[in-house]
Amino acid sequence: MFEGRRQILLLFFIIIGLVFIGKLFFLQVIDDSYEKAADNNAIRKIIQIPFRGEVYDRYNKLIVYNTPVYDLYMTPRKAHVRDTLQFCQLFGITRAYFDSTCKQAKAYSRVKPYLFLKHLSKEDFARVQDAMVDFPGFTFTTTAFRTYQSKAFSNALGYVAEINPNTLQNQKDDYYRQGDYVGVSGIESFYEEDLRGQRGVKYRMVNSNGVEKGDFKEGRLDIQPIAGKNLYTGVDIRLQEYADSLMQHKVGSVVAIEPATGEILTMVSAPSYDPSLLAGRNFSTYYQDLALDPMKPLLNRPPSAYYRPGSTFKLIQALVGLQLGIITPSSVFTHAGAPVKCHSHNTSHNDLHNAIQWSCNPYFYHAFRKILYEDTQGNTYERSAQGLQRWSELVANFGFGRKLGVDLGNEKKGILPNVEYYNKVYKGENTWKFSNIYSLSIGEGELVVNPLKMANVAAIIANRGWYKPPHLVKAIGDNKVVDPFYKTPVYVGIDSKHFGVVIEGMKDAVLHGTVGGDGKIPDIVMCGKTGTSQNAKGEDHSVFIAFAPKDNPKIAIAVFVENAGFGGFAAAPIASLIIEKYLKGKVDRKAVEEKFMNKSYLPNVLSVTGPRPSKTKKDSLK
């Protein structure tokens, strides 16, 4: 009995199995209804690109916004052009472009839209719209490109361009697709994740020929795009335009900072370029011209160019010596025994104030020698290394030899020579001494900085010993979020009591010292220091750093003008005009203004990236 039941159960399972196998065979081999359904219906995922965030200045004046434009798409299967010449004339394209693009579109797909022409303006769209009835298979989609209210600020702002293959391949979050636009430089790149927003997705039903049949599930699964966050900068765009006008026909930089906040008021890189020309269809052509320009207009010089600070560095030498107790405000050094020359001035009482006022090279030569050798032990080589080590540690606090952390991707550290550096240069320990490195005493030799760093030095002195990291963007988005890094004061390790004599020396340098008459502002007390940065490739560079007013400073500035000579010749007058414009809202010294707007310092031999530091002390010091 049990054997019979077992056979019945076995037969039952065999029959069930045969039924399933038969059904699968029917569905997969005989019946083609599911295949037809899959072929005839599909879901197309359409990515919707959000508008990039806009950029505003410190007074909420719009600097960068998005202008709607139109992209022309071609569907080869539907496209029909009876009169090719009329079509090319209508869109301002060549027959070669028409033929090659049509060929690419057909190779891509005969039934899917292909980008035929991008970034047509609304005027172009209005002009051609009526004629499109004669050209079936061509459709428009709306997109946007960056539009600029001003030609100034382009280097720091940066630009947006189509993503390159390497960036596309190496991206971490798989956000971008081929053909997407991305911030390439400046704050457009640094704040890319904030500016780009969040993509939207729209699902459409299409048949096997690519024809849309309507929204999928009535659009319930669609995701709306979210526009990028707006950036609120500390830049005064009117001041930026004014500074830019003063730097026409010149190569160099201007950086102005609000000392109390670290907000960058203006950042000029000269020569510059028109940012709007990198936002349209002619990007490739214009970019190539800029990239091949020997004056390097694409280089953002304030955080990237290399210069020796020259005599502006004497301010730091003075503060380091005072903090170490090596010198005092009343310390006196004569010109005797110094291999460096000095400006003509009264040496009967050559104290620290007088040395800053007249930029006395021998004074700082002797002061640097005393910093290195006093309170050290051993032979001359060992004492030089001990002294340089403590000196470089204090100088590094001012940002030398490291990045300040500005919100730009191209900041360079510069070079602050230390014991390790010279051991490498001279190939071993105890192989160099003060006589090999004394050019550091006046900001020459192997010491290399960028203009941004020197503007920050002016802010440090204005604040009497501290700074907030310089930054362009002070708030992000509607909630005005800001990185705490830019709100945290950084102290440089110099007691505030030591800044008084330095500031007084800077004040008198402007009123009665190395700053010429064009650099004086009659009704504003400005504290400044001139510098002449040596340049092996041509005329020396003119350098000036300053802050104003003397009490409760509102602006700190650094100006570098390449191949313009002494700091009082070009950099100081330009800085004084910018300070006057910012503090008063106008410039009363019209003759000085006109002079430097029209003055040209374009060199025959360009050294636009600044000097490379020498391996040994071979500089001819002035």
Q: Tell me: the pLDDT tens digits for 60-89?
A: 999 999 988 888 888 898 888 989 999 999
Look up residue 339 and give its two tokens.
């291999």
Look up residue 497 and give its two tokens.
């009591």
Instruction: Tell me the CA end-to-end span of the chain in Å, nearest whole number.
Output: 121
Q: Report the amino acid identity of residue 137.
A: G
- Average pLDDT over the chain reads 88
- pTM, to two decimals: 0.85
Per DSSP, the three-state class of 326 is: coil
CA dist 424 and 611 (Å) reads 20
Q: 285: Cβ–Cβ under 8 A, 6 or more apart, which residues?
A: none
Q: CA geometry: angle at 154 spanning 152 and 156, to 5°?
A: 115
Report DSSP state, residue 257.
E
Residue 233 has pLDDT above 80, yes or no: yes
Residue 105 has pLDDT above 80, yes or no: yes
How far from 410 is each of 190, 216, 300, 452, 587, CA to CA, in Å? 10, 46, 8, 12, 33
The pLDDT > 70 percentage for the chain reads 91
- Measured N-to-C along each axis, helices 590-598 and 571-584 cross at an angle, to the nearest 10 degrees, of 130
Look up residue 36 and give its two tokens.
């037809």
Q: 493: buried, middle or exposed (CB in 10 Å: 19+, 13-18, 0-12)?
A: middle
The pLDDT > 90 percentage for the chain reads 62
Q: Say what the pLDDT of residue 608 is.
A: 44
Taking Cα atoms as reference points, which of 143, 166, 385, 105 lies closest to residue 279?
A: 143
Question: What is the pLDDT confidence band of residue 606, given thresholds at 50, 70 and 90?
Answer: very low
CA dist 584 and 586 (Å) reads 5
Q: Tokens 């030398």 — which residue? A: 400
Query: In which region does residue 101 sit, left (phi positive, over 0), alpha (psi from -120 to 50) or beta (all else)?
Result: alpha
Q: Say what the pLDDT of residue 537 is.
A: 80
